[in-house]
Structure 1
Amino acid sequence: MNEPRREGTMPKITTDDGIAIHYEFDGPEDAPVLLLSNSLGTDLRMWNAQVEAFSGARRILRYDSRGHGKSDAPQGPYSIERLGRDVLALMDALGLEKVDYCGLSKGGMVGMWLGTNAGGRFGRMVYANTAAHMPTEEMWRHRAATVRAEGMAAVVEAVVNRWFTEAFQQNDDAEVGRIRQMILGTAPEGYAGCCEAIAVMDQRTSIRAVQNPVLVIAGAEDPATPPDYGHQIAEAIAGAELVVIPQAAHLSNIEQSALFNEALAQFLNG
């Protein structure tokens, strides 16, 4: 595995299978590290509100998941395990033995794999707006085929409507537009490869092995990963806490950033 390198202003590491992963640091170099993992169809900029809130006291590490943002998008299918190993590769290349972790949607799925298989590398872990299992496999494979054939424009409006409540879409055109462009800018092959990883994911039993302190966050109005999915995760992991954020759909860290940040801060400082 290569050491961290900079390509222009873009710091990247290379995984064991030769894939470049883009990352960014914010906050004091000597502060505790909080690693943030993005959702399907976004990049590390989805965490801007959390960087603003936490980078005064935390060293924030964000990265673009394989297939997203400025990271490479190799041919799929991917797997949740491979996406998890990318995180470990990033930590190893940056010399990080142990960090706190917060992942949303796909980032939460990756976090569950990490908690199950590499829990000793992590302190507190947050699984937000996510699921341990997301049927149906056929639906995810169809979505992968659609974006490969027609591009991200074929799914963007349906995704935005699941990610934000109607009220937020009406009241914050700028933020919704920013996320829409992020979705459209995602490499179709990267998106499809991650869809195929989610299609075959089932961590409902394996996450019972997670021993880290865990906070599960759900959005009360999330049609993509409803609160019941969060309840199932919290019930499977001993001692896990659950917070349901009101008036929030899938990207609760954006739609209700103040409430999300409050829950995150209380947990991390607990």
Structure 2
Amino acid sequence: MPFDRINGIVLHHRVDGPEGAPALVLINSLGTDYRIWDAVVPHLADRYRVIRYDKRGHGLSEVPPAPYRMDDHSADLLALLDHHGVERAFVVGLSIGGQIALGLAARNDRRLAGLVMMDTAHKIGDEAGWNGRIAAIEKDGIAAIAEQILTRWFTPAFRSPDNAAFTGYSSMLVNTPAEGYLGSCAALRDADHTETARNLKVPTLCMVGDQDGSTPPDLVRSCADLIDGARFEIVAGAGHLPCIERPEVTARLVGAFADEVFAAGGAK
């Protein structure tokens, strides 16, 4: 369970896969920690050095005072790559993770070998929506709005009270440090990577669950349309977190695209 001070804060992170293999970084969504990738990693760690971490304010990582900027998150990612001696990485960014990856591209796109934008976009939500969410959590905590968030995250079939996994991931959400959640809400509110997406020259796959209520397919498709040469895939039977509801499909799409990118020289 590695903890290291990275970019001035303690980050909880983990590496799976062979030393010296190409690096593949998985960045989790708002209100989750790196365990959401548990069922995906075994399909990738046979040939990739898979790096996961709890972003600032989430999971077991340190919780700096809110608000955060997206640039803070992107600087953490860059410092994590440096910490692990990774010159170029294939990055998979889920939800806010995609915004973090675009922030890295804006800083230095040479550090990106390839990119998967999963259930995310160049701009997510608007100021009024994020301010409303922040106010509700400041007043009554994350639990007060958890049901609406979970409805957007998961398909009706997954949201069964008999599904132990749904109960577990609900607990993950409500147990996220409120300060960290609020800090990242502010980062999402203020971030707009439209121009970064337009200028991106990195091989990119945009993918989305067909029942995503947080970043619906049309929004993700609009992001793909901005990025030169980007591919677009819809994952059937998944909401906002395909890595949980459809881990094998997610791993297959990510792995096949990463294989193609590295075979074409993305590791150079």
Q: How does 1:172-191 map to 2 (within 5 A)?
A: 173-191=163-181
The CA distance in 1 between the partners of 2:36 and 2:9, in whole Å, is 22
Aligned equivalents of 1:146 and 1:262: distance in 2? 38
Uncovered stretches (5+) of structure 2, i.e. residues with no partner: 261-268
State the alpha-carbon separation in 2 of the partners of residues 266 and 10 from structure 1.
29
- Partner residue, 1:3: none
Secondary structure in 2 matching 1:249: coil
* 2:246 is equivalent to residue 253 of structure 1: no
> Which residue number corresponds to residue 3 of structure 2?
11
Quote the residue 2:60 is aligned against. Answer: 70
Amino acid at match of 1:12: D
2:118 to 117, 125, 128: 128
- CA deviation map 1:210-265 (0-9, x unaligned): 11100101111111101111111111111111111112110011111122112112
Q: Which runs of 5+ in 1 are unaligned?
A: 1-8
Tell me how far 1:199 sits from its aligned partner.
Answer: 0.9
Structure 1 residues 206 and 177: CA distance shift in structure 2, 3 A: same
**The one of 14, 25, 39 aligned to 1:35:** 25
Contact kept in structure 1, 2:5 and 2:11, CA below 8 Å: yes
The one-letter amino acid paired with 2:259 is N
Contact 2:160 2:166 (8 Å CA) reproduced: no
Give deviations 1:80-125, integer Å, cap 9, x for gaps: 1111111001111222111111010010111122223321011011
3-state SS, counterpart of residue 216 of structure 1: strand
d(CA) in 2 for partners of 1:37 and 1:71? 13
Cα deviations by residue, 1:58-84 (Å, 9 ceiling, x for unpaired): 111000011101111111111111111
How far off its partner does 1:172 sit? 6.8
Asked if 1:230 corresponds to 2:220, the answer is yes
Aligned to 2:255: 265
The whole-number CA distance in structure 2 between the counterparts of 1:229 and 1:58 is 30
CA contact (8 A) 1:116 1:207 kept: no
Identity %, equivalent residues? 36
RMSD between superposed Cα atoms in Å: 1.5
CA distance in 1, matches of 2:6, 2:151: 35
In structure 1, the residue corresponding to 2:29 is in which secondary structure?
Answer: coil
Task: Identify the residue that residue 4 of structure 1 maps to in structure 2.
Answer: none
8 Å Cα contact 2:26/2:51 also seen in 1? yes
Q: Contact conserved, 1:132 with 1:229, CA < 8 A, in 2?
A: no
| Matching residue's letter, 1:145 | A
CA separation in 2, counterparts of 1:71 and 1:141?
24
Give the superposition deviation at 1:171. 8.4
Pick from 96, 99, 103: which aligns with 1:109? 99
- Select 2:83's aligned residue among 69, 93, 109: 93
Instruction: Tell me the equivalent position of 2:154.
Output: 164
1:61 counterpart = 2:61: no
Q: Identify the residue that residue 142 of structure 2 maps to in structure 1.
A: 152
TM-score, length of structure 1 as denominator length: 0.92
What is the CA–CA distance in structure 2 between the aligned matches of 1:12 and 1:179, rounded to whole Å? 26
Which structure is higher in RCO with an 8 Å CA cutoff and minimum separation 6? 2
How much has 1:145 moved relative to structure 2?
A: 2.4
SS of the residue 1:35 aligns to: strand
Instruction: Tell me how far apart the structure 2 counterparts of residues 147 and 51 of structure 1 sit (CA, whole Å).
Output: 32
